[in-house]
Chain A
Amino acid sequence: MPTERFWERVTALLAIALGTAALLLSQGLPQMEGGYPGPALFPSILGVVLLLSGAGLWWEGRGSKAGLQGGEGRVLLALVALALAPWLLRLVGLSLTAGLYALAGAWLLGTRPLGALLTGGGVALLVYLAFQRILGVQG
């Protein structure tokens, strides 16, 4: 439960930050003729909802214990690796990229190297046959 509380607070802060950003960025959007609100109206309303809900959630959870459980490093590593996917795609192509992610994912989750290698190989083969050969996906 303290872990859920921790992520709850992170989300509450995220909601406050995104709500504020939506409100500020909406100011730059054009208005309609006659001074009526235009494309800015809806994001502004959502900004207010996020700001209030985030603050409400933060207030509701105040005083309760919150903490991490460990393992967040692996998650961060996977996310950074995922952000490198477009670069990897250009470098080695689609099926190998998919295979590498499957391999890395299985390995990070605790599969033995041979098992991870087989997972990656299987996914690469599947992607090559199903997506590239049959469906004609470029990459």
Chain B
Amino acid sequence: MSFLSPEALLALLLGSLYGAIFGAIPGLTATLAISLAIPILLFLGPEVALAALIGITATAIFAGDIGSVLVRMPGTPASAAYAEELHEVAKKRSPAFALGLSALPSAVGSLIGLGFLVVGSLGLVAIARQFSSFEYFWLVLLGILSGILAVPRVWKGAIAFALGMLLATIGYDPALGNPRFTFGQRDLLGGIDFIVALIAFFGVSEVLHHLLHGPRASSPHAEGLGRGSVFRRYFFEAGRLCWKERGSLARSSVLGTFVGFLPGAGSDIAAWISSNLRRMRKGRPEQVALDGSSANNAAVAGAWIPAMALGLPGDTLTAILLGMFLAMGITPGPELFNKHGALVVQIYLAFFLASAVLMPLGGYLSALVVQSLLRIPMRVLMGAVLGLCVVGAYAVNNNPFDLYLLAVLGALGFVLRQGGFPLGLVVLGMVLGPLLEQHFMVSMIKTHWNLLSFFERPLALVLAFLNLAMVVGVLGLRLGWWGWLRLPAKERA
């Protein structure tokens, strides 16, 4: 079966619509959309499941803007960066124009990101063939450190990552195969299922969060898309503005791709940086929205580059994607390109279809669906999510034990969420932890515990330096060291 088969195309379409609806409703995130969909996707073939997954990821971030346009509430954190401006445009011009202003730059950003994905992942694969366990160790460490340092409070980032990694140590260890922390439970020998953890952290904790706030959590009211020549406003007027701002569109898309490529950063950071840069240049609301929406979608494709080429996730969505690849028996990284070249080409193709066709055309359609769905109270939607979490967690392995894990991890996710800890980092820790341990232990066993061997290969040395430079650079920026160094010697003393 190929990505051009009717089943795969239908999966792409349905995945896009599902992702768009989830992304558009405030409170239902792209990650939650995927975590609830995976138990179903696992039953489908790789091409169909991946097509649906691409549809979801490509549109969920863009769809966050639909909530901003309709009810002034961003559907995803990635849309929060320019939600005010987008809603202002919707009120001043028309909701259809604002939706076009979101959909068209999103599509452009996604396509530019795709261009980089094709070229970048092939280039990275060529480099990755030179990689040994030493280089991989430094690269994984780079991802972990940048994730921790990206959090406003470093303690919180460190706790989130370490908790995720500790959860991943349960079961057989990845290097020597000894069982750890299983407490005699056979069900824990294989470790905690990544998908069960995902459903618990994002689904159950979300429901518990709403339970804490009780009936006070009200649902937003859609303000309507307005009447008139919607098609003209959506495509032509917004398209004309995009053409006028083509330079800025290209710049923010490239910036978004680069931010997405960095481990630990993601669509949210890309959108904030890009829209803030425009604000600093006194940009009008439509220019700010245009830059933000193109950057956050470009970041989605950017995060796929290290995920596909190296098997290293850049954000939560790509961490889920890697989990999905592994569940299907496909190992991401250079091996993916060697053994499943046709699949890679089809992934690119599906990404292209989702970006170029589904995003602009489906945007308006999903907005209409969402407008009706927003009339359903959030408490009803959350009740349904709780029921689906139970089914999803059970359906992954048909194992009732996973439901105990769902309760325990849901409670953990709730506590972390209430304390303002980034849940995405816990998930990233679960993926990156075993990789870090495996590459470290393999390197150590190979060299009879010679720690200096981590600095002997040129590429490893460069990556080690990058780690050091990033820690010093980011800590320097955060603690204001550079400002202090610029002071005259007398004042420093």
A residues adjacent to B (C-beta < 8 A): 3-4, 6-8, 10-12, 14-15, 18-19, 22, 25, 29-30, 32, 36, 38-39, 41-43, 46-47, 49-50, 53-54, 56-57, 60, 69, 71-72, 74-75, 78-79, 82-83, 85-86, 89-90, 94, 97-111, 115-116, 119-120, 122-124, 127, 130-131, 135-139
Contact = CB atoms under 8 A, between A and B. Distances in A.
Interface in B341-399: 377-380, 382-391, 394-395, 398
A107 B383 contact: yes
Residues of B in contact with A, size category = 35 or more
Nearest to B406: A82
Q: Is the interface of A mostly helix, strand, loop or mixed?
A: helix
Contacts of B437: 42
A103 B272 CA distance: 39
A69 B211 CA distance: 12
B217 interface: yes
B418 interface: yes
B208 A79 contact: yes
B488 interface: no
B458 to A, nearest CB: 27
B420 to A, nearest CB: 5
Given A57-B156, A71-B211, A90 B384 contact: no
Contacts of B419: 4, 7-8, 10-11
Given A25-B181, A39-B180, A71 B398 contact: no
Interface in B193-243: 204, 207-208, 210-215, 217
Q: Is the interface of B mostly helix, strand, loop or mixed?
A: helix
B407 A79 contact: yes
26 contacts: A4-B419, A7-B419, A29-B178, A29-B180, A39-B176, A39-B178, A43-B169, A46-B162, A46-B166, A47-B166, A53-B155, A60-B153, A69-B212, A74-B211, A83-B404, A85-B390, A86-B400, A86-B403, A101-B386, A102-B388, A104-B383, A109-B217, A115-B380, A122-B384, A137-B394, A138-B398
Given A7-B420, A42-B433, 13 more contacts: A10-B419, A18-B163, A29-B178, A32-B176, A36-B449, A42-B173, A53-B159, A83-B403, A85-B390, A101-B389, A108-B211, A119-B387, A127-B391
Contact of A101 (B158, B210, B379, B390): B390
Nearest to B209: A75
B416 interface: yes
A125 B331 CA distance: 36
A53 B380 contact: no
A41 B415 CA distance: 28
Contacts of A29: 178, 180
A119 B383 contact: yes
Contacts of A104: 383, 386
A5 to B, nearest CB: 8
A82 B403 contact: yes
B39 to A, nearest CB: 8
Contacts of B155: 53, 56-57, 60
A105 B385 CA distance: 9
B160 to A, nearest CB: 9
A83 B409 CA distance: 11
A37 B396 CA distance: 35
Nearest to B419: A7
Contacts of B162: 15, 19, 46, 49-50, 53
Interface of B: 39-40, 43, 153, 155-156, 158-159, 162-163, 165-166, 169, 173, 175-176, 178, 180-181, 204, 207-208, 210-215, 217, 377-380, 382-391, 394-395, 398, 400-401, 403-404, 406-407, 410-412, 414-416, 418-421, 433, 436-437, 440-441, 444, 449
A128 to B, nearest CB: 10
Contacts of B449: 36
Contacts of B40: 130-131, 135
A31 B483 CA distance: 48
A101 B419 CA distance: 26
Given A69-B212, A109-B217, A50 B386 contact: no
Of residues A54, A57, A139, which shows the largest number of chain B Cβ atoms within 10 Å of its Cβ? A57
Of residues B211, B217, B416, which shows the largest number of chain A Cβ atoms within 10 Å of its Cβ? B211
B158 A85 contact: no
B43 A135 contact: yes
B166 A135 contact: no
A101 B387 contact: yes
A59 to B, nearest CB: 9
Contacts of B401: 86
B383 A103 contact: yes
Contacts of A46: 162, 165-166, 169, 433
Given A38-B176, A53-B158, A85 B398 contact: no
Given A7-B415, A74-B214, A130-B40, A135 B395 contact: yes
